[in-house]
Each structure stands twice: as structure tokens, then as C-alpha cells.
Structure 1
Amino acid sequence: MVIVTLLNALMCNRFRFFMHIYNLTYLYDTRSIMSEITIKHLAKQLNLATSTVSRALNDSHEISDKTKKRVVELAKALNFQPNAYARGLREQKSKTIGIIVPDRVNHFFNLVIEGMETVCRANGYSLIVYNSYEDVAQEKKIVYGLLGGKVDAVVMSLADEEKEVEHLKWLQERNIPIIFFDRIAQNVMGSKYVTNDQEAAYIGTKHLLEKGCKKTVFLGLSNTSSVGMARKKGFIQAHEELEIPLSSSSFLEFGHDDVQNQAILEKLFYKLDRPDGVLAAAEKLGLSAYRALAKTKIKVPNQVKIVSFTNMQVADLLNPPLSTIAQPAFDLGSACATELIKGLKDKKTDFSLDKKIIIPSVFTARESSQ
């Protein structure tokens, strides 16, 4: 009796095992069949031409609503997945946009990417992100790699605006549209999305001066970008308007080494004649200034007030909360992607037309400058 029971159990287990294998095989075969469904299969079952099915799936105005409904319903029932790669080869389009940024870690560029990604995803485009690391040689390598048609268009902020831009013209010669943002190429035709850097710096500086600062300092990155120069002009403009004198010591330039930048700022704040107001023209300089002030035990805003350009989303959580000039990064990215995709779909758009689109920044006064 025991032996019979054991044999029955073994048979049941074996049966379950074979059924499990059968189910897996069936599932695999079903998925394989589904993955192999093509437009030709749909056309054959519906007794339609493949071109009609293709146009119906692409919502063409040439196809009646009744036919579209039949095609879409069968496609859903058979789990039809259109081959985007094959379509791209036929249309000689990759449905991909490349974005080149000089500093992937910066919150500003991350938000630009997010804005672009949102629009691309909604329109069936992919986005590839490249980092030039503030290096023109690296930027050239990236551009050269894109000449083969990996992307349909490029959005970029330059590593350095003053150095050669011949490699950017390579893209245009291959009919790959370029849109610039933030750091723009003055000598290359095309759309350029920027913000009101000079006006924003003027507003932030005037705020510091009206709060009683008598000796303010401008912290800028040591490059010749149009962005940095515009912010410097805004800083000067506010002082001239309020007739507060400036000197060579009112302007400090920094590199990209955060540790070295902080050390320089610590020496500055240790001085008896230290500044009582700071306008940081870049996020990393604003953070370095905060760390240096904490290290030297200088009280913010009682002894030194500070305003910084930054898109940092936790600025209000710093101690004290940081007064910021936030660029419309997400909107810049969204606008760039929208123009590109609209132009790519239209096919008649002239991307070589030179135009500048200004989207204003937003100044938010917080405790650090009160």
C-alpha cells in the first residue's frame, strides 16, 4: 500500500513536471509567434494591401476610420509590435536626438535634459546624452561620431565658445540640424535658446546692494563664455546705477577644482577687509562659498550675504536657505526639443535661420541675503 502511494506521488510529480515544461514551451512558442507578427501577416488576415495597413497604423488621413479600426483591433489582438529600427532605415531617420552638455553633474543641465526627454518621449523620439567635460577636443570626438547618422538632430551647449567651431559646421554640412542653448556659437547659424543672464545678475546684485552690502564680490568661472560675461556685466550695471565703486578685487575667477576653489574662498573670508556680499555666477561657486563661510565661521547673512545662480532644488533646505537665480532649464530643454521635432516632421523647416529665443530666469530671495 505504501509502495503504491509512493508510485502515485511520483507519477503525479512527474506529470506536473512535464506539464510545467509543456506550459513553458507553449508560452515561448506563443511569444515567438507574437514577436514575428509583421504588417504582411496583418494584411493577409484582413485581405488588405500592406501599404494600406502601414498607413492605417500611422493614422494616415488617406485611410478611412473604419479600416483603421479593423487594423488597430487586429494589431492589438495579435500583440503586433512595429519595428521602429526597420522604419528608421526606410525613412533614413533614427528617431533619435543627441544632446551635448559640458557638465553632466550640474543641476541646470540635468533639468534641460529632463525637459528634452519629456518632449522626446511624448513624440516617439529617443534621447542620447553626451558629456564634453568642458573639453573642446572631447566635444569634437562626439560630433565626429554623430556624422554617420546616429542622430537626426543635435542640441548642445558648448564646452568653449571662443575656440574653433568648425566641427559644428560638419554637422550642418551633413544636414544634421543643430540647436544651441546657454553657451551658444555666435558664428554658427541656427536657433539659440538663452536666458536673460545680464538682467538676472543685475537684479541679484541690486538686491544685495539694497540690503546694505558695501563691498560685494563677483565669483566667476575662468572662461570666456557669453553667459559668464553677461552676468559680469549685470553685476557692474547694478553698481554703476547705485554709484557704488568697484575695484579689481571685486572680481574673482575660478577653475573647476572644487577643493581649490574652496581654499581660495577661505583665504578671502579670513581677511579683515573681506567682502560683505557675494554674487556667485555658477552653482559650484555658490556651494564652495557656502562651505568656505561655514569653515571660517562667518555668519550668513549677518556678516556676509550671498546670492547664487543655481537650479539646485534643495536651495531652500540649506542653512540658511540660499537666495537663488534659477534659469528656466526644464523650459529651455522642452523648447529646444519641441522646435526640433516639429521641424523634423515638417521636413521643410530651414534650421539654418539664425534666431535667438530668450526665456527669463527667476530670482528668489531667501534668508542668505536678508
Structure 2
Amino acid sequence: MKHEIMTSLEVATCEDDIVNIDLNTIPDEALFQGGIHDQVDIGVLDDIPYIISDVSNNSNNSFPLGPRGPPPRKDDPGQYNFSVEIHSKDTHKKKFLFSHKLNRIYVNMETDFAVQFNWELVDLAVTQMYVRATVVFEDESQAEKRVERCIQHKLCSSDKGQDRVVSENVLRSSRPLGTNDVQYCGHPDDPDYWYSVLVQLPKPGREPCTHAFKFVCKNSCSTGINRRSIAVIFTLESASGSVLGRQTVGARVCSCTARDMCKDEEAEGARAARKRPRPAQSRLLKKIKLETVGDLPVDAETLTLPPLEIIGAKTVKTGLEVMLRMMEQAAHFHKHDQLAADGYQRRVASLRQYIDTLDAKPTKHASE
């Protein structure tokens, strides 16, 4: 039995060529089980991603092709100044939160979260725009791997009979399946075709557009995301599939949104503090503690030095300054003995005067 809903289907290739497919040559099971790419024997289709989950639901729509291979991740507002906003301030019971510090949404599974898309209308010739949401792994070492739903959630009763391109995608539109302006893209049997959700936006205007999404798998699912960090790449696209803008938002699908967000923000703050360069510390002078030995005999004998021949005025001055400091310390130690203190002070003054005379003498150069 052949479908009578559509007799042909026009598909745009990556080079914007239009290929006409005769649906009467395709078995029923291929149309509704994701087999168009595999069943049609047309050479040009080798480069066409699988994007149609149910052709009967989208007979009047022309959607851009799904991306093949890891999508680019670098944020780029483009000429339309494209941006994405997620507001969670007024969320009931905090089922989803958004951390501006981490640029990451924390959301319960099966919880709708609204995403606002903003852009500036700079080209009046553009009559139709789309937003594509693609989930990727954040870690660069996992960047080549497609994000897929875990086995347990993929086989849940609510998804029985669903096309694999829908049931294996961790992200969904909050609108009912089969809605004309929502398309699920990807190829279940070819991991190089990445799963994405494509949303047709209202006709371009100056007002922002909002669309709600939901995750149908958790970060902790061992046979799926398996505790790896994920992000959602939102791209603004034209009807021909040209990317007009791109922004990435991190995501964590969990049960305790507030706890996990606070924990991650604290960890990020600690990492930033460790990376912050320490201010240069001023050089501190080491204090020397002077200690006196009370029970030892005090060396108070007065000695008169004989005439000595010493080479170098600096050498003489340095030696005399050492003697001066030692006698000053001894004088401080004997400050309560008036007789001894007077004797020290007299000799300290005499030695200091002699050192001053050395400073006053001009230095003779070797050439003289």
C-alpha cells in the first residue's frame, strides 16, 4: 500500500540544489521509520542528512538541512546580532535555574524551559528564519561524539512507536510531536549526522521570539550522557541552511538544580582564585632579636689598640662600626649601672667621632 498524502518530495542539498523524490517508490516502513536516506537510490542523496521524521506532518514546510559532523561552537552574533536569553527568576519551585556566572542552565528532566531569541532585522529580503538547537559534549576530548539518549529512557513507554530520530534525541521542543513548525533532524544509523531540533520562527520582525524546550534524559544516565558536561548550540538559520548567528549555552539536567548550581559556582570561584596572580609582596626586613645572657661574666675590660697599618679606608670603617654597635648594645645592657653606662657612652662618643673623621677624608685614587 502506497501513501497518497504526497506523491513527491523536494529536498534541498547542501549546495542548495533541489532534488525531487518520488514517494511512490518508497516502502511504507521507510517513510515512517526513518529510512528515506537508505531506501532512495539517488547518488546526490549521499550528501543529504536525514531530517524527516514524518513527512506527512511537514508537507507544507521547507526546512533547512540538518548539519553533518560536529557543529562549530564559537559564539558569533553575526550581522543580525543574534543572542539567546534564558530567564529563570520567576520559575515556580525552581525547577530550572540559569547561572549567568557559568552560562549554564540547571533543569529537571521533562521540565519546560523558555528560551528567548533576539536578533536585529537587517535584511528585509529574508522572509523566513529558523533556530536549530543541537546538544553537544563540552569537553574537547568528547567533541567528536554525538550526544544520544540513554537506553532506559529511550525505551520508555511514552516513546513507543516514535521515530528513532525523536526517541534518541535528548532534547525536544515542548510543543506536541507532529507540530508543523518543529522538525527533528539527524540519522539514527549514522553517528556523523547530529541530532538537533529545528524550530521555524514567526515571520521576521523586531520583537524577540520565545520557544520552550525540555530534556528527556539526565546528565547522570550511565548509558547516555554518563555524567559528562553538555551544552546546547543555538543557531539562527535561513531557509537555505545558512548560519546567520550562533550562541552556546551550557546545560545540566539534574534533580537538585539549586544545590548543583551553587556547588558548581563555588567550585568555579575557587578555580578562579587559584589562577589569579598573587600581588607582589614588598620585601620585609628581618628583625633581629637581641638577647642578653644574665649569668655570664660581662666583658668590660678596656683595651687600647697599638698603631696598626690597615689597607683600605672602607675596611677600617667597617671594623670600627662593628665595634661601635657592640659597645652600644653593651651600654644599653648596663643602663641601670650609672658608672658603667657613663664609661660606655664616653668611649662610644669617641669612636663615633673617629669614624666621622674617616668619612670626611677624601678618598685617594690608585693613580695618584
Q: Is the pair's TM-score, using the shorter chain for normalization, greater than 0.5?
A: no
Taking structure 1 as the reference length, the TM-score comes to 0.22
Question: Whose relative contact order is higher, 1 or 2, with alpha carbons under 8 Å and at least 6 apart?
Answer: 2
Query: Which protein is bigger by CA-based radius of gyration?
Result: 2
Greater per-residue strand proportion:
2
Taking structure 2 as the reference length, the TM-score comes to 0.22
Greater per-residue helix proportion:
1
